[in-house]
Amino acid sequence: MLTLLQSSQCNDGRTWNSMDGKTKTEKAILRLDDQEIELPIFTGSEGEKAIDISSLRKQSGYITLDPGYVNTGMTKSSICFIDGEEGILRYRGYPIEQLAANSNFVETSYLLIHGELPTPEQYEQFRQSLRRHSMIHEDMRHFFDGFPSSAHPMAILSAMVLGLSTFYTENENPEQDTDIDLTVCRLLSKVRTLASFSFKKSIGQPFIYPDNSLSYCGNFLHMMFRVPAEPYHVDPEVERALNLLLILHADHEQNCSTATVRMAGSALTNLYACIAAGITSLWGSRHGGANQAVLDQLATIHEGDWDVARYIELVKDKNSSVRLMGFGHRVYKNYDPRAKIIKEACDRLLDHLGVQDPLLDIARRLEEVALNDSYFVDRNLYPNVDFYSGIMYRAIGIPINMFTVMFALGRLPGWIAHWLEMRSDPDDRIHRPRQIYNGVKLRDYPV
């Protein structure tokens, strides 16, 4: 049985000064068999509480079991705060709504990585550094020749990011205090180039080199959509929409791919390799791959001329194994604030481009039917970041198999920020979860 001792607000998360001036620790008492085990309570800066079980096994021989880590915090972090019940998301304390309305992706990346918004001088220096590192080593171009044109861009991106570590070995041993800022700028700038080259590869067009006179997002659009035979002008509205999408994807606390980057980094793996691991984790349809799965699902409904209400019934049927992609979230039990922002931006962008997308109408109808259906309401299933983002990518001209690559481009500063935070954490050690064995007991090999 677990009893939470009386406590008052702690200042450093573990202790507080009681009336008699003595320092006290908020504690949980776990009564196991004939034992009473005291476990400290940690309180975060937004009042979240956690039972610190780091001494549990030593005191009791017990471990905890929590498939999918639904109830388990893997670390303390000051990068991103989410209140899933209230639908709140903040990067370093700034509400996502304010960053979406006022910032750009380069500034938001700086904020996530360095913890504060940059001064004008810091911003300019960061921006110039990203521009300076936009090219990839010329030998890397030949790597693309080895991939089949049908290769999924996420496979190419992960392989090429790992390949960067063979050309830039300054960070190979993270324990050597090398110029990590250089590695950070190389990654932020070159992953954008690799992403656009993987797109060009998939459509058989020549690679377009960066044009460093353009902004971060303008340069990406240039590399994606320019062809040598024609001039290309960046549409400011599309550039604004891309900045917004990348800001909204930039971080999300301990999501699956960020936890993967931290897990790999805890073994003292270099940053390039950890980012490659994060890309592979993001690819899954339960995670970043959902934005591609949403468009596939909308296209199935459209091409099959499904009645939306009938499709929702299929989703609710446990025997169908069909999920409403872009709906539900492990943390948000309310509307994902990013989905709200994207839904509004979708209208603006499609109006600007004069695009009438029937899939957007289907998405809206699905949301309307689902949010009035007890199956979804009872399970707190709302649209998440992936539900509308693909409609915007499609309107920009980004093909469906590049949607998760766009997610990776956005999430890159968040992955980097978490890797750096973990590397600077004095408490960090190799992440090695335990298990409970429930297999065959001891037996002898038949001789």
Binding site for ligand SDX (CB under 6 A): 68, 252, 255-256, 286-288, 290, 315, 323-331, 379, 381, 384-386
CB of 400 to ligand SDX, least distance (A): 15
CB of 150 to ligand SDX, least distance (A): 25
Nearer to ligand SDX, 10 or 362 (CB): 362
**Phi-psi region at 182: left, alpha or beta (left = phi > 0; alpha = psi -120 to 50):** alpha
In 3D, which of 128, 417, 120 has the Cα closest to residue 278? 417
Q: Is 428 helix (H, G, I), strand (E, B) or coil?
A: coil
CB of 316 to ligand SDX, least distance (A): 7
CA pair distance 433, 447, nearest whole angstrom: 35
Contacts of 382 (CB under 8 A, 6+ apart): 327, 328, 329, 332, 334, 335, 336, 339, 371, 376
Q: Which residue is nearest to ligand SDX (CB)?
A: 328
Strands 15-17 and 23-25: antiparallel
Long-range contacts of 114-120 (CB under 8 A, 24+ apart): 115/78, 116/92
Does the active-site annotation cover 357?
Answer: no
Nearer to ligand SDX, 26 or 386 (CB): 386
* Residue 91 backbone dihedrals phi, psi, to 5 degrees: -105, 115
Length of the chain: 447
Nearer to ligand SDX, 190 or 329 (CB): 329
Nearer to ligand SDX, 290 or 345 (CB): 290
- Measured CA to CA in angstroms, residue 280 lies from 143, 159, 174, 408 at distances of 18, 9, 21, 10
CA pair distance 440, 182, nearest whole angstrom: 51
Nearer to ligand SDX, 21 or 68 (CB): 68
Nearer to ligand SDX, 32 or 50 (CB): 50
Does the active-site annotation cover 34?
Answer: no
CB of 225 to ligand SDX, least distance (A): 26
Sign of CA dihedral 209, 212, 216, 221: negative
Active site residue: 249, 251, 386, 418, which one? 386
CB of 293 to ligand SDX, least distance (A): 7
* Residue 83 backbone dihedrals phi, psi, to 5 degrees: -110, 100
Active site residue: 133, 329, 336, 418, which one? 329
CB of 333 to ligand SDX, least distance (A): 10
CA pair distance 332, 335, nearest whole angstrom: 7
Catalytic annotation, residues: 329, 386
